[in-house]
Amino acid sequence: MKLAALFSALALGIASFASQAADPVVIKFSHVVAPDTPKGRAADYFKKLAEERAKGRVKVEVYPNSQLYKDREEMEALQIGAVQMLAPSLAKFGPLGVRSFELFDLPYIFPNKETLYRVMDGDIGKKLFGLLDAKGITGLGFWDNGFKQRSANKPLHSVDDFKGLKLRIQSSKVLEAQMKALGANPQVMAFSEVYSALQQGVVDGTENPMSNLYTQKMHEVQKHLTLSDHGYLGYAVIVNKKFWADLPADLRDTLNKAMQETTVFERKIAQEENDEALAKVKAAGTTQVYTLPYRDRVVWQQAMLPVHKEFEEKIGRDLIQAAYQTAATVEKEKAAKAVAPAMKDKPGPVKATRPAKPEKN
């Protein structure tokens, strides 16, 4: 009996030594933004959770600020397995051949974050992730950043102010059409090149949520900023499909749970990060900050709305309609919940005759 116990203890010891000695699975997580942004902080948070929970079986190496790869290169690197995890913005999936992600780029399509999260976490999000399968990619979650603001070296108040301006965009055909609808000249450019392009006058302006604008120091080279919330920027966290499928099932489960928790964390901090960044830009005093009045939002929206129709086929009419429907449902639920009567000028979803007004929540 004693001998048997001794043998089993010995066997256990050898097994645990062997598992400790096995090399951890390395996950290279590459991204293009600064560590102190919603995405940057979430990547670090995921690393911490995943490494703790996997108890030495996983090592997550986070490479921020395009240190390893720029926008387009990182997608290719993921597909060939040179990196295992990315969180590209939803505007960067078009070049992969999955244009439906450009749904998120449609101007003023999401009146609030509730609508957005329902779209991401519901059937639309599932359908979008399904499209990645054929590209050798698995989607793990959608992360938030925020609504975009516009900057330039001249004030951007009316639609006419955009005429002829060279404006940097991400690699999305919807964003290209949106800039053209305003009379501007869109220039696709990697995120890592934007600051110097603005500084050298290669482009006149750009659009981004505040956290990106501030951490890339764009406010130092942009005299004017218009708070317009005209479009959205968020992310899909993706992994190399084969890498993910080949992981032991229990480890994949652990990592999936860590990702779910990270997503909750990420969405919680996104708005805070953007609010803080706006306060810092104001404090820096290099940029004049202008809040687009509601009456002008309506005009901007009318100018850009034809883009929705133009991209129906490329994105998928069903997806666009489902997003409108989600916005309408959220709006209805809010109205039903409101204790006070709804404000008279409260706008409905984008499809309604009155334009949607993004809310920060």
Which chain residues interact with ligand LMR by CB under 6 A? Answer: 32-33, 39, 89, 145, 170, 191, 208, 212, 233
How would DSSP label each residue in 232-245?
Answer: EEEEEEEEEHHHHH
Based on CB atoms, which residue is closest to ligand LMR, 54 or 174? 174
Shortest Cβ 233–ligand LMR spacing (Å)? 6
Shortest Cβ 300–ligand LMR spacing (Å)? 20
How would DSSP label each residue in 255-321?
Answer: HHHHHHHHHHHHHHHHHHHHHHHHHHHHHH-SSEEEEPPHHHHHHHHHHHTHHHHHTHHHH-HHHHH
Based on CB atoms, which residue is closest to ligand LMR, 208 or 228? 208
Based on CB atoms, which residue is closest to ligand LMR, 57 or 173? 173
Q: How many CA atoms lie within 13 A of 134 on its CB side?
A: 7
Shortest Cβ 32–ligand LMR spacing (Å)? 5
Shortest Cβ 170–ligand LMR spacing (Å)? 5
- Look up residue 332 and give its amino acid: K
68 close to 174: Cβ distance less than 8 angstroms: no
Based on CB atoms, which residue is closest to ligand LMR, 177 or 322? 177
Based on CB atoms, which residue is closest to ligand LMR, 89 or 263? 89
- The phi and psi torsions of 232 (rounded to 5 degrees) equal -125, 150
**Those residues with Cβ within 8 angstroms of residue 158's Cβ, 6 or more apart along the chain or in another chain:** 296, 299
Shortest Cβ 56–ligand LMR spacing (Å)? 31
**Residue 270 class from Cβ within 10 Å (0-12 exposed, 13-18 middle, 19+ buried)?**
buried
- Please give the order of strands across the beta sheet that includes 25-30: 58-63, 25-30, 85-86, 232-240, 137-147
CA distance 349 to 110: 8
Based on CB atoms, which residue is closest to ligand LMR, 66 or 84? 66
Shortest Cβ 244–ligand LMR spacing (Å)? 21
Based on CB atoms, which residue is closest to ligand LMR, 165 or 330? 165
Shortest Cβ 33–ligand LMR spacing (Å)? 5
